[in-house]
Amino acid sequence: LPRFTETFIYLVLCEINFRKWVADMEAVAEDAEDGVREIDESETSIGNVPPSDNSLALRPEYGCNWVEITAEFFEASKELDLGELLHDELFGLFEAMSAIEMMDPKMDAGMMCNRGNKVLTFDKAIKAGVLKLNNFSMEELVGIMDCILGCLVTWLEGHSAAQTILTCLYLHKPLSIEDRALRAFCVLTLKLVALINNIVNIAGVYEEEDFQPGLYGYGVCAEVPEARAAAAVREVEEELQRVVKSTRGRQGEAWEPLMQKQHEDAVALFSRVRFLRLLYAALSAIMRRDQVSMQEAERCLASCTELVCIMQNTVGRGLRPKAHKDDDPNRGDYGHMMGFEPLVNQRLLPPTFPRYTRLRTRREALQYLDELVTRIRQCGKITHTHTFKQATEFLERFGELEPCVLSRSIAQVLYLGAGNGSGTGPDDKLWGGQSMADTLRSAAKQFICPPALMPKAAVLNNPQAKQYVDNFFMQCVRPFEQLMQMHGHNRARQRDKVTDLLREFASLQDEADEVDAFLHNVLLKSEQPRPHLAYLGTWVLHHTLRLMLHYLLTGFSLQLYAPHEYHYIYWYLYEFVFVWLVSALTRADALLPDQENMEQQQRAKSSRSTRHKNRKQRKTHRPYGKEIAFYQAQQHLCGGFYKAMVGLREAGKVRLPQQEFDDEKVRYHHRFLPFNVVVTPPPVSYHTFITMTDLSNFPQPVSPSALYHDARNHFFKAKTLLEGITNPNSEMQAILKIVKTNFVVMKLLEGGHKNEDPSPPKFDYTYHSCFPVIRV
């Protein structure tokens, strides 16, 4: 054997008894003959499934001249030095890391199947007489359905279908089930799986950790029309309803135990099949994306909430199989439940470590379904928003609850549409029927009233100007769609998306500024000369700033920043991000009433009698007053944190990393790196940070107390601003609490409290995921 450096023989075969391997292969061949891996076109994927009709050992074209070389092999390997490895050019150690050692139970997924009982497919299980298709007891039906729901929930939580729903044999050939209730339930379950898959795929806001759409080639009863599947379930429901009614206890009479049992069993079964039907109906209605369907969906979901309650109360009526002595607690009760075979798809999975997916228990599953229904009802409320701004804010607030991938997807599909991207169908319109371009036009108009967008705008007579404006809003479509989608992703992934979005918005900013400049020139030459500076520009800037804010704040909610980094993050927010936000809104705030008044005056000109009225109505109107106050409050909140952190650092209470490898300048630049693509506002260098925060700038002498004092003032200012806001929302109230507490803490520290105590403060994020209460 030729030698290679740095290698020694690790070909798997030499680690195991070669003879045993041959014997096992022959056993596999036998199984294959029996049809363990049935290749039924309607069922499984072709993929990596071995041929069913013969094994390698029996294939005539390969011959079966096995020659044992064990002795020669070990003899030859003696030529290699200790530590030398022999390997093929294309199969080095990197590849070997993800390879499996055949028959190593820790790595070879198939080995699990060879332990203990044989793995039975649907057909094998029927043949073996362990799978019923009819004559189920009520306990069996309820038990099976609850286990199916457990699999469904585990799948929805992001696990592979192969180890969840597709471990239920009844879902492999549901049309072969003879019992009407179970058959209808299984068919509709598969259709529900297909529907959910569709919704999540269309929305496109999932990553691998959220959801696995693969169904491994299994059928989902696509050939059964939706109406028929629902009707089948409905029939079962009605039958059960009759039983429920006829077995009810009668007043004054004793409720005969057998009748009571029948009643309660019927109730249990009824609630489950009805729940499934209504859940399906709700999702189906939601996908139709119209007002009437949304109402229908809400009715269905309200019923679902009630039904889950009944299901939870009757969960004990489901059959529980006897526990096995070698039961793996991770398998719950699925391993031995009739109709469930956890390993049935094991060979379809990639050769990684053989892990079970821990399936949700029945109670956990019902709890999840209850919460899921609530979430879906909640996300449906995006249809109550009227403006783009409201929709974005809705998604932001909804996202804070860290909702599941399905509810996030539903919100996306409802608002953005189920479009195929062609731009023509109704599905490409936003909720409410407008195109994205038109919606954005309205949004810009509502934000700052650019003269060019006002009705009867002079600029509309200039075809080139009109073209510019139309083109600009067309260009806005993609970035703003992506902005909505960003809010639909899971929180950790949102940050990555923001990085890309900042780039898009930077380009959009350029466009906006150019269009503004062009319109400015056009308008100045028009009959009613009017400036058009920084209207569209401010609108885009506002969104860019909110993205920057989101990026920095999610760093807190994801717990990415270390306390020794807080000071520069909060400083950036205090000195720059919030300042620019306030400035942008102030500009809009000033321009909006002006424009509106000019509009009214224009209209008034055409109807003289109302001229006096309009003059009186012209009041000092501050449309953004509340928002500006809130941003200013947050600005001072961050100012408070910044000063507090500097004070704590000066007092030696912030644990700093060892000097050897740490470099604050390098850290700073990496933390703010995504902002470098933004031109307006310009990035703030570390040098600027150091210059502006140099303690020699402050009135001397600077002691921690002086800094705590400054912090205290900031918190106080924030408090005043927040208290001035009428009808504060829950976030504002939470921040007010934080500000008040921190004010007190700063006062204590200023007074020398815990002066001698070097222990670092704790940061309590219970009230708000981004702004902590400082606890010393």
Nearest to other proteins of 658, 726 (CB atom): 658
- What count of residues does the chain have? 776
Q: Which pair of structure tokens corresponds to residue 564?
A: 């020794």
**Does the protein bind other proteins through residue 83 (CB under 8 A)?**
yes
Strand partners, 773: 764
Segment (H or E) for 764? strand 762-764
The correct pick among 661, 699, 701, 766 for binding other proteins (CB under 8 A) is 661
Q: Which stretch binds other proteins (CB under 8 A): 100-108, 162-170, 182-190, 455-463?
A: 100-108
The correct pick among 52, 114, 526, 676 for binding other proteins (CB under 8 A) is 676
The correct pick among 85, 86, 302, 725 for binding other proteins (CB under 8 A) is 85
Please report how close the Cβ of residue 408 comes to other proteins at its closest, in angstroms: 13
Q: Which stretch binds other proteins (CB under 8 A): 194-202, 508-516, 671-679, 694-702?
A: 671-679
For residues 345 to 384, the per-residue mask of contacts with other proteins, x marking binding by CB under 8 A and - elsewhere, is --------x-x-----------------------------
The answer to whether the Cα torsion of 61, 348, 99, 31 is positive or negative is negative
Please report how close the Cβ of residue 592 comes to other proteins at its closest, in angstroms: 30
**Does the protein bind other proteins through residue 234 (CB under 8 A)?**
no
Q: Which stretch binds other proteins (CB under 8 A): 244-252, 560-568, 722-730, 733-741?
A: 560-568
HSE toward the beta carbon, residue 680, CA cutoff 13 A:
19
Please report how close the Cβ of residue 167 comes to other proteins at its closest, in angstroms: 18
Q: Which stretch binds other proteins (CB under 8 A): 261-269, 442-450, 468-476, 561-569?
A: 561-569
**Does the protein bind other proteins through residue 214 (CB under 8 A)?**
no
**Does the protein bind other proteins through residue 724 (CB under 8 A)?**
no
Nearest to other proteins of 194, 677 (CB atom): 677
First to last CA, the chain: 70
- DSSP letter string over 536-577? HHHHHHHHHHHHHHHHHHHHHHTT---HHHHHHHHHHIIIII
Please report how close the Cβ of residue 714 comes to other proteins at its closest, in angstroms: 26
**Does the protein bind other proteins through residue 228 (CB under 8 A)?**
no
Residue 406 in contact with residue 379, Cβ under 8 Å?
no
Q: Which pair of structure tokens corresponds to residue 758?
A: 């070097």
Q: Which residues of 221-242 are buried (b: 16+ CB within 10 A; e: fewer)?
A: beebeeeebbebbeebbebbee
Residue type, 619: K
Residue type, 8: F
Residue where the block lists tokens 């600005």: 635
Nearest to other proteins of 137, 352 (CB atom): 352
**Does the protein bind other proteins through residue 115 (CB under 8 A)?**
no
Q: Which pair of structure tokens corresponds to residue 340?
A: 């469930």
Q: Which stretch binds other proteins (CB under 8 A): 227-235, 268-276, 545-553, 684-692?
A: 684-692
Does 701 sit behind a cis peptide bond, omega within 30 degrees of 0 on the bond before it? yes
Q: Which pair of structure tokens corresponds to residue 607?
A: 């109807």
Characterize the bridge pairing of strands 773-775 and 762-764: antiparallel
**Does the protein bind other proteins through residue 596 (CB under 8 A)?**
no
Candidates 775, 652, 773; CA nearest to 703 is: 652
The correct pick among 17, 45, 471, 559 for binding other proteins (CB under 8 A) is 559
Q: Which stretch binds other proteins (CB under 8 A): 91-99, 123-131, 170-178, 619-627?
A: 91-99
Nearest to other proteins of 152, 629 (CB atom): 152
The correct pick among 1, 3, 6, 525 for binding other proteins (CB under 8 A) is 6
Nearest to other proteins of 446, 676 (CB atom): 676
Please report how close the Cβ of residue 670 comes to other proteins at its closest, in angstroms: 5
Candidates 446, 447, 466; CA nearest to 457 is: 466
The correct pick among 688, 729, 733, 755 for binding other proteins (CB under 8 A) is 688
- DSSP letter string over 232-295? HHHHHHHHHHHHHHHT---TTS---HHHHHHHHHHHHHHHHHHHHHHHHHHHHHHHH-SHHHHH
Candidates 366, 197, 359, 354; CA nearest to 276 is: 366
Q: Which stretch binds other proteins (CB under 8 A): 160-168, 194-202, 491-499, 628-636?
A: 491-499
Query: Contacts with other proteins: how many residues (CB under 8 A)?
Result: 51
Q: Which stretch binds other proteins (CB under 8 A): 34-42, 619-627, 686-694, 768-776?
A: 686-694
- DSSP letter string over 74-98? HHHHTTSPTT-----TT--HHHHHH
Site for other proteins in 154-193 (CB under 8 A): 158
Please report how close the Cβ of residue 163 comes to other proteins at its closest, in angstroms: 12
**Does the protein bind other proteins through residue 758 (CB under 8 A)?**
no
**Does the protein bind other proteins through residue 663 (CB under 8 A)?**
yes
Residue 704 in contact with residue 647, Cβ under 8 Å?
yes
**Does the protein bind other proteins through residue 194 (CB under 8 A)?**
no
Please report how close the Cβ of residue 745 comes to other proteins at its closest, in angstroms: 24
Please report how close the Cβ of residue 662 comes to other proteins at its closest, in angstroms: 3
**Does the protein bind other proteins through residue 720 (CB under 8 A)?**
no
Nearest to other proteins of 424, 688 (CB atom): 688
User: What span, in angstroms and rounded, lies between the C-alpha atoms of 530 and 760?
Assistant: 58
Burial class (CB in 10 A: 0-12, 13-18, 19+), 477: middle
Please report how close the Cβ of residue 367 comes to other proteins at its closest, in angstroms: 17
Nearest to other proteins of 489, 712 (CB atom): 489
**Does the protein bind other proteins through residue 495 (CB under 8 A)?**
yes
Residue 720 in contact with residue 755, Cβ under 8 Å?
no
The correct pick among 687, 753, 754, 775 for binding other proteins (CB under 8 A) is 687
Residue 185 in contact with residue 175, Cβ under 8 Å?
no
Spacing of C-alpha 459 from chain mean position = 43
The correct pick among 21, 73, 216, 561 for binding other proteins (CB under 8 A) is 561
Other CB atoms within 10 Å distance of the CB of residue 183: 20
User: What span, in angstroms and rounded, lies between the C-alpha atoms of 682 and 669?
Assistant: 14
**Does the protein bind other proteins through residue 116 (CB under 8 A)?**
no
- DSSP letter string over 28-54? HHHHHHHTTT---TTTS--TTPPPSS-
User: What span, in angstroms and rounded, lies between the C-alpha atoms of 163 and 21?
Assistant: 27
For residues 130 to 159, the per-residue mask of contacts with other proteins, x marking binding by CB under 8 A and - elsewhere, is ----------------------------x-
The correct pick among 67, 90, 97, 258 for binding other proteins (CB under 8 A) is 97
For residues 29 to 68, the per-residue mask of contacts with other proteins, x marking binding by CB under 8 A and - elsewhere, is ----------------------------------------
The correct pick among 58, 64, 175, 562 for binding other proteins (CB under 8 A) is 562
Nearest to other proteins of 95, 396 (CB atom): 95
Nearest to other proteins of 92, 419 (CB atom): 92
The correct pick among 669, 709, 737, 747 for binding other proteins (CB under 8 A) is 669
Phi, psi (degrees; rounded to nearest 5) at 775: -115, 120
DSSP 430: P
Segment (H or E) for 773? strand 773-775
Q: Which pair of structure tokens corresponds to residue 479?
A: 């970035």
**Does the protein bind other proteins through residue 426 (CB under 8 A)?**
no
Q: Give me the residues that bind other proteins (CB under 8 A), please.
A: 6, 10, 82-83, 85, 93-94, 96-97, 99, 101, 106-107, 158, 209-210, 353, 355, 490-493, 495, 558-562, 565, 655, 657-658, 660-663, 665-667, 669-671, 673, 676, 682-688
